[in-house]
Structure 1
Amino acid sequence: MDGRDDTRRTHDAYEEWFSRPTGAVLWTRTADGAPHRVLPDGCTDLIWLDGELIVAGPDTHGYVPAVVPGAHYVGLRFPPGRGPDLLGIPAHELRDLRVPLAALWPGADVRRLAERVADATDRAGALERIAVDRLPDAPRPDPLLAIVVAGLRAGEPVSAVAEAAGLGERRLHRRALAAFGYGPKTLARVLRMNRALDLARTGTPFAEVAVDTGYADQAHLAREVKALAGVPMRELLS
């Protein structure tokens, strides 16, 4: 589609790029049979998998999905807080789940959309169009959620983020469950882990990564990554 960003990141059979119309990330993967670990990121994905449309909710822990060699995936990864608006369901109802889109939308409509993607020459563009067509009827992005995500991503305490958003901590927690799938403290842990992994992938020593991303020390970083990702940090990066 015209709004697509041509800057792409490629790794093996995985490719991703930014979708300007939706503010999401489009991605494709062709499974080669090798296991890959999916990490929590606070996001919700709409996925087309060999003829079926699936919604992947926000994860609280890493996992390795079962894959069939040669299976073709096309996905649209919404930023934290945006997927539930477009899908029409609170994020906490999708937490740690993969559900058919037909369980959320009318089955006949979903079958028609899935066929449209299957028949398209550009399947990623066809999947993107599903989200674009939903935009006029979806709630506008909540600016308070953007403040919350930005504050937590920067490592600010939950109390400071709640104050910046003009929300009490209890109200923030309720809003976070609906938007992100879990409370702000869990989202902060997930976002910090991903910041740390991004920095570690540049070759930065783990002790320096821990300091730069707000962990008490390298041991604290290691415990958090193991708890959220399910494997030690060194194994994950290798």
Structure 2
Amino acid sequence: MRRCGKASRLTILQAQQPEGRAPRAGTGRAGGAECTGHAGSGARAMLYHRWHHVAQKDEVSTIMPDGCRDILVVSPPGGASSVTLTDWDDGPRRVAIRAGTTLTGYRLRPGVGVGAPVDTLDAARLDQQIGTALRVDGDCPDLIAALAEAGEDVDAVARQQGVSARTLQRHFAGLALPPPRFWRLLGRARRAVLALRGEEPLSDVAFDHGYSDQAHMNREVLRWFGRTPGQLRRDPATLTDLSQPGLGNWSTGAPGG
């Protein structure tokens, strides 16, 4: 991940404010979805991952926080397709999906926004529209990636930009983004969860990811994902879902279900 350089300071002060934050949608990514990555137009870093899921029966999926928003096309059986924009999750969320419903999602890189009202997007042509529909405010995705990086804190990232932590917080608020602390804590929890796929003792995982002790890690992981590290380690399917590209592993996450 490219660290933000001093040139980013100008983009912090000059970034445009978006039109507003979309309300939380009623559904999201489903487990077992097929997922492919796309870089969008030009030579910019990967801006989104496209995923697709068809519910073979009535199902309930648990959506875990990953720091991403999704442009979501919902196609119910026998009904018209609709486009919505999901919000950021700050805890596990359960959604019911009717049998026969098709979901096509465009999982946005943390910090990437949508430059046009979602209701102006055409569900049938979204594959063609997506490249021009996305908006990147300066180095915002790189700032968020830096906050999620191992060993970083809000003050350190702010200093790298030549600004104060308060200025960084105002910058995020001006873009209608969750505050820097949100990205730092969720990024750390996601990186700790990714380490659960190995056999390292939980106390060592906690130490390696900057928690004061194992109990501290247990509380934080439970807060974000509704399960303790020990419970997640015994649930390979959920660990696979949590390893999908998102905050802290956008470029290294393995698409697929």
The two structures have a TM-score, normalised by structure 1, of 0.71
Of 100, 115, 122 in structure 2, the residue corresponding to residue 70 of structure 1 is 100
Q: Which residue of 1 aligns with 2:129?
A: 130
Deviation, 1:146, is 0.9
Q: Is the 8 A contact 1:152 1:158 kept in 2?
A: no
Q: Find the residue that maps to 1:37 and give its secondary structure.
A: strand
Of 42, 58, 61 in structure 1, the residue corresponding to residue 91 of structure 2 is 61
CA 30–216 in structure 1, closer or farther in 2 if over 3 Å, else same: farther
CA offsets, 1:172-211, max 9 Å, x none?
Answer: 1122235573111121111111111111134443222212
CA 235–65 in structure 1, closer or farther in 2 if over 3 Å, else same: farther
> Runs of 5+ in structure 2 lacking a partner?
1-29, 41-45, 76-80, 236-257
CA 143–215 in structure 1, closer or farther in 2 if over 3 Å, else same: same
Q: Find the residue that maps to 1:235 and give its secondary structure.
A: helix
> Runs of 5+ in structure 1 lacking a partner?
1-10, 89-103, 118-126
Q: Which residue of 2 aligns with 1:226?
A: 222
Residues matched between the structures, number: 194
Q: Which residue of 1 aligns with 2:60?
A: 35
The two structures have a TM-score, normalised by structure 2, of 0.66
CA offsets, 1:106-143, max 9 Å, x none?
Answer: x5x44xx12x25xxxxxxxxx342221335xx4x5412
Amino acid at match of 2:132: D
Does residue 208 (structure 1) correspond to residue 233 (structure 2)? The answer is no
1:11-160 equivalences in 2 (<5 Å): 13-21=32-40, 23-31=47-55, 32-50=57-75, 51-83=81-113, 86-88=114-116, 104-105=117-118, 107=119, 109-110=120-121, 113-114=122-123, 116-117=124-125, 127-134=126-133, 138=135, 140-143=136-139, 145-160=141-156
Amino acid at match of 1:13: G
Amino acid at match of 2:38: S
Q: Which residue of 2 aligns with 1:98?
A: none
Deviation, 1:230, is 2.4
CA 232–151 in structure 1, closer or farther in 2 if over 3 Å, else same: closer
Q: Which has the higher contact order (CA 8 A, sep 6+)?
A: 2
| Higher share in helix | 1
Percent identity for Structure 1 against Structure 2: 26
Q: Find the residue that maps to 2:62 and give its secondary structure.
A: coil
